[in-house]
């Protein structure tokens, strides 16, 4: 059977600034998934999209075509379902606290998460530091856990949006990752295919985020909100600062421990603040207005949900977390105020220590990471410990120290830190 379009004609349309028709989009995504459109042809189209952009209708249709390339989940759950997605950052352990908290408030949170790459940590890598915990669940297992516990964090099935999986790998090696239409449709195709009724996006901006400028972060957030709403998923976005790391840890087991501290009523104030902002937004979209997540967190019910969630996936919430075989303390070089603690530098240090990976499929060290011992704006003395580096490969320490030192600045005075939550977009 003859193909209805030629790939080169679709490429030329976008190359010359034209608008792709619905039929062209449906065909090219399907044909690429089937292998009819060659890798070099899709690479050319991706570059044309990056340079020429797409309008809102094109982006929505492109997203729909990627969703339709595979299966979609139909979650048979009585509770209202609401998901959260973060565009990635350093020390971003929010999902670990947020999912059980929102579940304890009465919603169901079907969180399909990923693994880390480079300086950005992955939620699954963190949870797999817990002995016995498993990420791969069937749809039936997810629905049962959502009914019984209210929260599940699992790996996305390869059957969800396979076109996106294939296109993402291509974009990574062809210089087209930065296209906002392709970023937005990549994220939203997987999230919509997972079947939630509503979705809150945590869009990071700053040195440790993918989006370095507020302007680009807002554009990405509004694009994703438009996609979600056009597909019947109520969507909002919280714009948050990622110029500094979130909390006092970056890595795997160290972030799990910090998340548990928050669930038990402690933890760093910024982690608590962002968790509650996102929880309130998720509950609002889920139609739950009579529950205060701050009171639920303080009551210990969220910690109970965490323990139930971990046990349901084979983990032991009481088990001892992995400990590193080597620790190295980084000390302050002079008296003064910790004026800068760059998120990217901390993330790169954690990656160098083994907490992250350079390519998909590489193993990570669950005990690797950075524990910060001083807060931004704190007065420190020469020789005072600023950070503790954890690793099982001592040879990695010099590179990690070099990465971290580039983002730490001690001065006589320090500016007041800006707000963590920059805006809420609906």
Q: Where in the chain is the domain with CATH 3.40.1030.10?
A: 82-312
Instruction: Please give the pLDDT value at position 360.
Output: 75
Q: What percent of the chain has pLDDT above 90?
A: 89
Label each residue of the chain as H, E or C.
CCCCCCHHHHHHHHHCCCCCCHHHHHHHHHHHHHCCCCHHHHHHHHHHHHHHCCCHHHHHHHHHHHHCCCECCCCCCCCCEEEEEECCCCCCCHHHHHHHHHHHCCCEEEEEECCCECCECCHHHHHCCCCCCCCCCCHHHHHHHHHHCCEEEEECCCCECHHHHHHHHHHHCCCCCCCHHHHHHHHHHHHHHCCCCEEEEEEEECCCCCCCCHHHHHHHHHHHHHHHHHCCCEEEEEEEECCCCCCCEEECHHHHHHHHHHHCCCCCHHHHHHHHHHHHHHHHHCCCCCCCHHHHHHHCHHHHHHHHHHHHCCCCCCCCCCCCCEEEEEECCCCEEEEEECHHHHHHHHHHHCCCCCCCCCCCCCCCEEEECCCCCCEECCCCEEEEEEECCHHHHHHHHHHHHCCEEEECCCCCCCCCEEEEEC
Give the C-alpha separation, 193 to 199, whole Å.
12
| Residue 15 is a catalytic residue | no
* Rounded distance between C-alpha atoms, residue 317 and residue 311, angstroms: 7
CA torsion 154-156-159-164 (nearest 10°) is: 180
Q: Mean of the pLDDT values across residues 9-19? A: 97
| Active-site residue, 164 included | yes
Amino acid 119: pLDDT: 75
Rounded (10°) CA dihedral 169, 175, 177, 182: -90
pTM flag (> 0.85): yes
Count of CB atoms situated within 10 Å of the CB of 287: 13
Cα separation, 93 vs 97, whole angstroms:
7
116 pLDDT band, cuts 50/70/90, is: confident
pLDDT at 117 (0 to 100)? 66
Specify the CATH number of the domain 82-312: 3.40.1030.10
Average pLDDT of every residue of the chain: 95
Give me the catalytic one of 186, 207, 230, 305: 186
- Catalytic position from the list 164, 202, 241, 261: 164
Residues 6 or more apart in contact with residue 132 via CB below 8 angstroms = 314, 315, 316, 319
* pLDDT tens digits, 297-349: 999 999 999 999 999 999 999 999 999 999 999 999 999 999 999 999 999 99
39, 2 Cβ separation under 8 angstroms: no
Task: Report the DSSP beta bridge partners of residue 391.
Answer: 326
**Residues 31-51 pLDDT 10s:** 999 999 999 999 999 999 999
CATH 3.90.1170.30 fits 326-411, yes or no: yes
The predicted-structure confidence for 391-402, as pLDDT tens digits, reads as follows: 999 999 999 999
Question: What is the rounded CA–CA span in Å between residue 397 and residue 80?
Answer: 46
Which member of 14, 61, 84, 85 is catalytic? 85
Residue 147 CA to residue 280 CA, distance in Å, equals: 21
Q: pLDDT band at residue 177, thresholds of 50, 70 and 90?
A: confident
Catalytic residue (one of 93, 166, 190, 390): 190
Q: Is 186 one of the annotated active-site residues of the chain?
A: yes
Q: Where in the chain is the domain with CATH 3.90.1170.30?
A: 326-411
pLDDT at 196 over 80: yes
Locate 67 and state its tokens. 């969703």
Distance, in Å, from the CA atom of 386 to the CA atom of 375, rounded to the nearest integer, reads: 8
Query: The sheet that has 336-341: what strands, in order across it?
Result: 379-380, 336-341, 408-411
- What mean pLDDT do residues 357-382 have? 92
Answer for the pair 177, 183: CB distance below 8 angstroms, yes or no.
yes
d(CA 419, CA 423): 10
Partners of 408 in the β-ladder: 341
Q: In sequence order, which residues have a C-beta less than 8 Å from that of residue 139 and are 6 or more positions away?
A: 73, 74, 75, 157
* Catalytic annotation, pick one of 93, 126, 171, 231: 171
């Amino acid at each position: 059977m003859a193909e209805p379009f030629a790939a080169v004609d679709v490429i030329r349309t976008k190359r010359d600034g034209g608008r792709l028709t619905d039929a062209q989009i449906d065909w090219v995504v399907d044909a690429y998934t089937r292998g009819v459109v060659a890798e070099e042809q899709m690479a050319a189209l991706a570059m044309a999209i990056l340079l020429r952009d797409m309008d809102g209708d094109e982006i929505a249709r492109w997203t729909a075509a990627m969703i339709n390339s595979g299966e979609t989940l139909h979650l048979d759950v009585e509770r209202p379902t609401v998901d959260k997605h973060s565009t990635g950052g350093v020390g971003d352990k929010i999902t670990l606290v947020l999912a059980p908290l929102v579940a304890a408030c009465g919603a169901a949170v079907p969180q399909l998460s990923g693994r880390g790459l480079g300086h950005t940590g992955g939620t699954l890598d963190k949870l797999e530091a817990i002995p016995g915990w498993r990420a791969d669940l069937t749809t039936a297992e997810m629905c049962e856990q959502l009914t019984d516990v209210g929260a599940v964090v699992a790996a996305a099935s390869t059957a969800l949006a396979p076109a996106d999986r294939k296109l993402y790998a291509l974009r990574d090696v062809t210089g087209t990752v930065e296209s906002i239409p392709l970023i937005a449709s990549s994220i939203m195709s997987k999230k919509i295919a997972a079947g939630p009724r509503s979705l809150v996006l945590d869009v990071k901006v700053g040195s440790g985020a993918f989006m370095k400028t507020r302007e680009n972060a807002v554009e990405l957030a509004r694009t994703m909100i438009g996609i979600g709403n056009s597909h019947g998923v109520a969507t909002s976005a919280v714009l948050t600062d990622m110029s500094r790391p979130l909390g006092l840890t970056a890595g795997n087991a160290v972030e799990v421990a910090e998340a548990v501290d928050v669930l038990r009523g402690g933890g760093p104030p910024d982690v608590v603040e962002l968790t509650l902002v996102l929880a309130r937004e998720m509950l609002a979209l889920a139609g739950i207005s009579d529950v205060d997540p701050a009171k639920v967190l303080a009551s210990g019910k969220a910690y109970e949900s965490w323990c139930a969630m971990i046990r349901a996936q084979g983990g032991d919430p009481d088990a001892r977390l992995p400990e590193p075989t080597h620790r190295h303390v980084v000390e302050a070089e002079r008296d003064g105020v910790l004026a800068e603690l760059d998120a990217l530098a901390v993330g790169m240090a954690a990656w160098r220590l083994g907490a992250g990976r350079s390519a998909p499929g590489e193993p990570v060290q669950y005990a690797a990471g950075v524990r910060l011992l001083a807060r931004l704006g704190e007065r420190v003395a020469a020789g005072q410990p600023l950070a503790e580096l954890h690793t099982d490969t001592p040879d990695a320490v010099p590179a990690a120290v070099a990465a971290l030192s580039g983002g730490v600045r001690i001065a006589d005075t320090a500016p007041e830190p800006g707000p963590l939550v920059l805006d809420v977009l609906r």
